[in-house]
Chain A
Amino acid sequence: MNLHRILRLMKKELIQVRRDRRILAFLFIAPVVQLFLFGYAVSTDVNHVAMAVLDEDRTAASRALIQRFTASGYFDQVAYLSGQAEIDTLLDAGRAQMVLRVPRGFSHDLSRGRGTEIQTLLDGTDSRKARVIEGYTNGVVRLYGSEILRARMQVLRARLPRLPAVDARVRVWYNPELKSVNFMVPGVLCMVLFLITMLMTSLAIVREKEIGTLEQLVVTPLSAGELMLGKTLPFLLIGLIEFVLTLLTAIFIFRVDVAGSIPLLFVLSALFLLTTLGLGIFISTVSKTQHEATLTGFLFFMPFILLSGFIFPVENMPVGIQWATYLIPLRYFLEIVRGIFMRGVGLEVLWPQVLVLAVFGVGILALAAARFSKRLG
Chain B
Amino acid sequence: MTDIAIDIQDLRKTYGDLVALEGLSLAIAPGEVFGLLGPDGAGKTTTMRLLAGILAPSDGSARVLGMDVFREADGLKRRIGYMPQRFALYGDLTVAENLLFFANIYSVSRAERLKREAELLAFSRLEPFRDRLAMHLSGGMKQKLALACTLMHTPEVLFLDEPTTGVDPVSRREFWRILYTLVNQGVTLFLSTPYMDEAERCTRVAMLNRGRLVRCGTPGELKAGMRGMMLEVIADPMREAKARLTALPGVHDVQTFGERLHVRLDTADAEAAVTAALDGLTLVSLRRIAPGLEDVFNALASGEGPS
Residue positions of A touching B, CB distance < 8 A: 2, 4-5, 8-9, 12, 15-16, 19-20, 211-213, 215-222, 377
Contacts and interface: CB of A to CB of B under 8 A. Distances in A.
B101 A5 contact: no
B93 A8 contact: no
Contact of B86 (A12, A15, A16, A212): A212
Nearest to B133: A19
Contact of B105 (A215, A217, A377): A217
4 pairs of A and B residues whose beta carbons are closest in the complex: A212-B88, A8-B104, A212-B86, A219-B82
19 contacts: A8-B104, A8-B105, A12-B101, A15-B92, A15-B97, A16-B92, A213-B88, A213-B90, A215-B88, A216-B83, A216-B87, A216-B149, A216-B150, A217-B105, A219-B53, A219-B81, A220-B106, A221-B78, A222-B105
B52 A219 contact: yes
B14 interface: no
Contacts of A19: 92
A216 B49 CA distance: 11
A213 B150 CA distance: 12
A180 to B, nearest CB: 41
Contacts of B101: 8, 12
A294 B82 CA distance: 31
B125 interface: no
B92 A20 contact: yes
Residue among B53, B77, B82, B104 with the highest chain A CB neighbour number at 10 A: B104
Interface size class of B (residues with CB under 8 A): 20 to 34
A16 B166 CA distance: 27
Given A8-B104, A15-B93, A15-B97, A220 B87 contact: no
Given A15-B93, A221-B107, 5 more contacts: A8-B101, A20-B92, A216-B150, A220-B102, A220-B105
Nearest to A217: B105
Given A8-B105, A12-B101, A219 B89 contact: no
A4 B97 CA distance: 16
A12 B93 contact: yes
A230 to B, nearest CB: 9
Contacts of A212: 84, 86-88
Contacts of A219: 52-54, 77, 80-82
A288 to B, nearest CB: 14
A377 B53 CA distance: 9
A16 B133 CA distance: 11
Given A15-B97, A215-B54, A215-B84, A221 B105 contact: yes
Interface in B60-75: 74
B125 to A, nearest CB: 22
Nearest to A16: B92
A15 to B, nearest CB: 7
Contacts of B56: 377
B84 A216 contact: yes
Nearest to A227: B105
Contacts of B139: none
A5 B102 CA distance: 10
Contacts of B92: 15-16, 19-20
Nearest to A214: B88
B91 interface: yes
Nearest to B103: A8
Contacts of A5: 104-105, 107
A19 B134 CA distance: 13
B88 A216 contact: yes
A211 B88 contact: yes
Given A211-B91, A221-B78, A2 B107 contact: yes
